[in-house]
Structure 1
């Protein structure tokens, strides 16, 4: 005696055809809303897009829920029981993998692995705006308030050592080895995000400290205080570098990128 299918042919065919797309859409919109609620969207997109992205995710959730309620007409083509079972089980497995990947694994920030694929200080800065912000802080004489982005902007304007002789830098970022002289120079680096993490560009302030690898690891977050000098490294492409007085390990900030 043959066993009857647990689901009517029409319903099982419908689920086999539509469940995968609807389920994946549900995982994506729920993950986006969750990132927005937990304040982690900044690991993926620029803050200017937070509201737009969250609103669109909520609308997407409404459409996904509606698609479960509203059933579109089937194609009318018969589907074998085996094909239905394979489609349903494959969809279920794919959804479980997607849900675990997107929802269970913690969001990760960009690291040196990405930075080494993109040239440091080659882009990501709005030169005029960054220079204006940096100049405003320079005018106050409180140089230690300048961020990595602002120091990089100033260094791009001029690398005359005399202009930096009396200025102390106090910057925080992750350790990124200088590709030209990794044993003696590293960057206090951050990623500049203009739209999303895909277009993020690494920027950094060079630090001259021979043998730094004995104390810090690549991607460690540090706070460096020191003064600018003509870069003693003959191989590094940077004309100036910070000669550190202190290098302190710090925790990764909640917002590791700059905008």
Structure 2
């Protein structure tokens, strides 16, 4: 009798908790979709992209608005001002961002190329830090930008050597988030990845036309590659041979940053 009561009570308690977690997960999906968007999004677009009904999406947006995470204007929604304090705290306190900036600055000075630092978040990567090189890039890439793992040297190196099962997940996620077109296949992704045994990735005109890039991974204490560092340069200012000639310097910088992070709680 006591066992039955306990089980029933436990189920009753777990029900609301489970429902709350689903609601939180859905809210994070909507928030992430707004982060990916290049411009304010209409309710119908958000609902379709997130696979939710209009009423559910609207309820989520209203809650996010209450906390300043989302702003609305002219029936369109965008990220709200409440994210700025969180971003400031991250840039000032995160070991990767703090330790990475001087390393990136030194590498940019040595090579004359722009240097970027990325961290993996699920099936995407986030730009954590960036230092401009002598040849200015012809596009703006703000910190915190969600970027694909399927395009660009800094993304591809994070999935180099991944199993087919994981690559299938990467492909599905890239299509769902709008980074790749419908019909994108695992075979196409594999054709972009480094050859087996190669510890760096190279890209040309993949994510942005007219840009060449090489990237290497940073391994943490558990041996996982969750971060990457890349050299980027306009094609008009370099060649494939020249940018690849800087891979040894890129490796040394990545190794130096990995060593700095070993002494932190990162």
Q: TM-score scaled to structure 1, two decimals?
A: 0.27
Of structures 1 and 2, the one scoring higher in RCO (CA 8 A, sep 6+) is: 1
Q: TM-score scaled to structure 2, two decimals?
A: 0.26
| Max Rg structure | 1
